[in-house]
Chains A and B, each alone.
Chain A
Amino acid sequence: MARLLASGDTALVVEFGDIIDRDVNARVLALADRIAAARIAGIVEMVPTFRSLMVHYDPTRLLFAEIKAHVTGLMQDLSAVQHAARLWVLPTCYGGDIGPDLDDVAQATGLAPDEVVAIHAAGTYHVYCIGFLPGWPYMGDLDPRLALPRRENPRVKVPMGAVCIAQNMTGIYPLESPGGWHLLGRTPARMFDRRRRHPVLLSPGDRVRHLPIGRDEFDRLEAMALAGTLMLEPEVVAT
């Protein structure tokens, strides 16, 4: 059963497990929804992660025993409620100079590069949580045939929009940053764009698919993204 732990005097952690698991994550997100709906005065913000929910609160308004009691009450009959999710289809150009690890991944997995692309693009990925960088989505689960440890030598610079994999996860770099994941391609979709009203594109619980596109189409959409005119809308799907 879940553990309620104090992380200092300003945060409560509700720990549902210590594994990466869809059911565990669904319960995390369900509890976050319930707490948000209860509108408890003194709760500052909530951070859902793979397997726990961190509730940041103001200790001058809520004592630990009080928030613990509130949250314990809201955890009764908590199930991984099925609710509608947003599905994003992200155009993605694989391989070549913008997917420099595609051939290495193919070699390491014993697959042809085309098969790696087909397997990656066939998945509908669940956004477990956002973290590491502003707007970085931890998405899974990756097909086990593509599971590889992180690169031994992380790159000093990974470009914005790089679509990448490591272990059973797939991600997208929101900013240029150092990184150790395997780069399969790039999407012109911006995970983080400070010009937008909502700078971060994805939310925990969203679904993501990658739609393979050619280099010309990538260049056209990337130019739109640079100009701030690439608008992506999700569709709402039952989960």
Chain B
Amino acid sequence: MSAALKVVQPGLSTTVQDLGRIGHQRFGIPVSGAADPTALRAANIVVGNPETTAGLEIALTGPTFEVAADSARVAVAGGDSDMQVIPADGGEPRRVPALESVRVTRGAQIRIGAVSGSAVACFVVEGGFDLPLFMRSHSTYVRGGFGGLEGRALRAGDTLALKQASAPERGEVRLAGLDLKPQRTIRVVPGPQDDYFTPEALATFLAATYSVTREADRMGLRLDGPVLAHAKGYNIVSDGIAPGAIQVPGNGLPIVLLADRQSTGGYPKIATVASVDLPALGRVSPGHEIRFEAVTVEVAQALRREHEARMAGLAAGLEPVRGGALDPARLMGENLISGVVDARATGLVGA
């Protein structure tokens, strides 16, 4: 029998994303990919996937799925977003916190309510979705109408085929101590066109507090705050745009360019966000306040290497859920005595 998740409610904007469509920017193809790649990578680690496996990126309001597979192992990550698993027989729903794996069975519903503590959450399935690759990526680029599921956000009635027909039974795990919340201080490397601004503008940019406006999406964040004066005009001959480039158009207000940014652009870029802090910018909502702190490129690279070392250590830090082998007393209390019955009743097996 085929294995799938049926989309009961699509959520406000739920798209398939992986770590990006890398290697085609010279053809004008945006990189796209998860706005919060740390959340996607961590969620994949929790269900035992390679970190690059595509998941669903959920904005603000989450989707509801019906499990149309014998079983599937899923997890959600982002801020402190959780999900509810509602068993097929209408039994008690069970809340599953962020960064915790759960095995769900046929007919159960998975409900991801409001995304909490972040603008986005990622939802992943062990084995991943069975979708066609486009230009070697699963990432959805809605403006171009390609990638993911037919190049668009999910709709009610969609069916997301799964690569794995069922999820093997094993102990479920959780990942503790990973902060997936927005942060106030964002480190930047000045340039590449900081010489297009007055010294006062550079000082203001680093001293002021900027707030995220309502014009905030996967392409970028328009910020509000002190106006930055250009020293030699604001039209440059288009050049490349790095992830996190902060361009300043004629109105003097910075725009931070994120996952769905164009590959080239024609405004001077006062600074570029350090790659270690880019995932945090994917988490911000309108009204969030940001201060920029200048670091050298060498410091930014050292920070990124530390971050990657932490990410590489995440799998080793997975903890068994419900005590497991670490807590035999609790295991006896919950799993063996009432847990098995509960697990079946709630659509969860091996939890």
Contacts and interface: CB of A to CB of B under 8 A. Distances in A.
B46 interface: no
Interface string A31-61: 0000000000000111111111110100110
B272 A204 contact: no
Interface stretch (B48-56, B76-84, B232-240): B232-240
Given A63-B301, A130-B26, A9 B274 contact: yes
Interface string B177-196: 00000000000110110000
A9 B28 contact: no
Contacts of B188: 8
Interface residues of B, number: 46
B313 interface: no
Contact of B275 (A8, A18, A49, A199): A8
A8 B238 contact: no
Contact of A51 (B237, B269, B275, B298): B237
B200 interface: no
Contacts of A200: 24, 27-29
Contacts of A132: 28, 238, 262, 264
B10 interface: no
Given A9-B189, A18-B237, A131 B28 contact: yes
Contacts of A142: none
Interface string B261-275: 011110001001111
B27 A203 contact: yes
Nearest to A63: B301
Interface in B281-304: 297-298, 300-301, 304
B134 A7 contact: no
A60 B24 CA distance: 21
Interface in A54-73: 54, 56, 59-60, 63-65
B23 interface: yes
B147 to A, nearest CB: 9
Interface stretch (A80-88, A133-141, A214-222): A133-141
A117 to B, nearest CB: 27
A115 B298 CA distance: 57
A6 interface: yes
Interface string B135-146: 100000100111
Contacts of A103: none
Interface stretch (B111-119, B242-250, B331-339): B242-250
Contact of A6 (B237, B241, B297, B304): B297
Interface in A194-230: 194, 199-200, 203-204
Contacts of B241: 54
Nearest to A19: B237
Contacts of A204: 26
Contact of A134 (B144, B269, B272): B144
Given A7-B191, A9-B275, A48 B26 contact: yes
Contacts of A90: none
B89 interface: no
B305 interface: yes
B169 interface: no
A9 B303 CA distance: 10
Given A7-B269, A9-B304, A52 B240 contact: yes
B240 A50 contact: no
A135 B158 CA distance: 29
Nearest to A9: B300
A50 B275 contact: no
Contact of B25 (A47, A60, A175): A47
Interface string B204-236: 000000000000000000000000000000001
B92 interface: no
Interface of B: 22-30, 134-135, 141, 144-146, 151, 188-189, 191-192, 236-245, 262-265, 269, 272-275, 297-298, 300-301, 304-305, 308
Given A52-B240, A56-B25, 20 more contacts: A7-B192, A8-B274, A8-B275, A9-B300, A10-B243, A11-B243, A15-B192, A15-B239, A44-B23, A45-B25, A47-B26, A48-B26, A59-B305, A63-B298, A63-B301, A65-B298, A130-B27, A175-B144, A194-B134, A199-B146
20 contacts: A6-B189, A6-B272, A8-B188, A8-B273, A9-B272, A11-B240, A15-B192, A45-B22, A45-B23, A47-B25, A47-B26, A52-B240, A59-B304, A59-B305, A64-B301, A131-B264, A132-B238, A134-B30, A134-B146, A200-B28
